Amino acid sequence: MLAFKNKNILFLNSKLILLQHNFKRFIIRNYTNNSYSRMSLDNCKKVAAYKAVDDFVRDGSKVGIGSGSTIKYAVDRIKELGLKNVICVPTSFQSTQLIVEAGLELSDLSRTPELDITIDGADEVDKDFNLIKGGGGCQLQEKIVAYSSKKLIIVADYTKESTELGENWKKGIPIEVVPMAYVPVMKKLESSSFGLSPKLRMAVNKAGPVVTDNGNFIIDAQFSKPLSNIPQLAIDIKMIPGVVETGLFVNMTKTAYFGQTDGTCKLKSI
């Protein structure tokens, strides 16, 4: 009788070990490296981009195409709708490739200097529609194209919406600088007049710093407390000799779409 019980216990233990092993494999396969979260965020980005294109892009529209992971879905939607005579102006090498691969009409600001809209992503959008952009290093051309448009429409997933800049985005303000000036610019940003913590952005798949499409470097200026008077801060940083452009976008948009996890899209507008 005792031997029989021991066999049952061993059998149950082996089954428990097998269940634990299978459960561990399931967790690793589905949830490690945030694969589940990334899938959800990609769907959120798609929802936002599709809704913005549906609301604003028409036959004959002249559209600035932003940069970043969300913009692929905007280009996909323009192609999918089969709209006629849509002219697309890119903000980076990436968006140029997206436009060409989709078979859309490619232009530039020398041929199409006035745009109806620009659809672009953002790293963060605060309650006053101040933006941090430039996580992908394209803020200079993004700002030029956006400024050439009647409207800048922001598309993003729900994590990019915040009350104050820095609430969700922890990598600082991207600042594009002329290479020869990056050291003095960093020293100025560290001074008491700014109180920022700048770091030269280093490349991942090459030795040395990130180089933008314009041949410049990127400084990420981190801040530990909420930014005050953002419009003035943007001006002050821009006035440092050697700074080409900042990732602070102020008074440039009044409309943002945020894709939600339930498949809906939140429209924020003023």
Per-residue model confidence as pLDDT tens digits over 188-224: 999 978 889 999 999 998 899 999 999 999 999 999 8
Please state the domain count of the chain.
Answer: 2
In the 8-state DSSP scheme, what is residue 217? E
Within a domain: 82:
yes
256 SS3 class: strand
Dihedrals phi, psi of 104, to nearest 5 degrees: -90, 165
Q: What is the pLDDT of residue 193?
A: 82
Q: What is the band of 13 on the pLDDT scale with cuts at 50, 70, 90?
A: low
Q: What mean pLDDT value characterizes the chain? A: 90
Q: Which residues constitute the domain of residue 148?
A: 40-162+250-269
200 SS3 class: strand
Same domain, 131 and 232: no
Same domain, 146 and 178: no
In the 8-state DSSP scheme, what is residue 97? H
Better-predicted residue by pLDDT, 199 or 32: 199
Same domain, 50 and 103: yes
Q: Is residue 142 among the annotated active site residues?
A: yes
Q: What is the pLDDT of residue 26?
A: 47
Residue 232: CATH number of its domain: 3.30.70.260
136 Cβ contact partners less than 8 Å away, ≥ 6 residues apart:
67, 68, 92, 94
Mean pLDDT of 227-244: 95
Same domain, 258 and 187: no
Q: Round to whole Å and give the CA distance between 175 and 73.
A: 27
Same domain, 111 and 181: no
Mean pLDDT of 15-26: 52
Pick the catalytic residue: 80, 101, 114, 142? 142
- pLDDT digits over 61-92, tens only? 999 999 999 999 999 999 999 999 999 999 99
Q: What is the pLDDT of residue 258?
A: 98
Same domain, 131 and 227: no
Within a domain: 13:
no
Of the candidates 247, 241, 221, the one whose C-alpha atom is nearest the C-alpha of residue 180 is: 241
- pLDDT digits over 179-191, tens only? 999 999 999 999 9
Same domain, 126 and 225: no
Within a domain: 35:
no
Same domain, 135 and 257: yes
Residue 154: CATH number of its domain: 3.40.50.1360
Mean pLDDT of 111-132: 98
Q: What is the pLDDT of residue 37?
A: 53
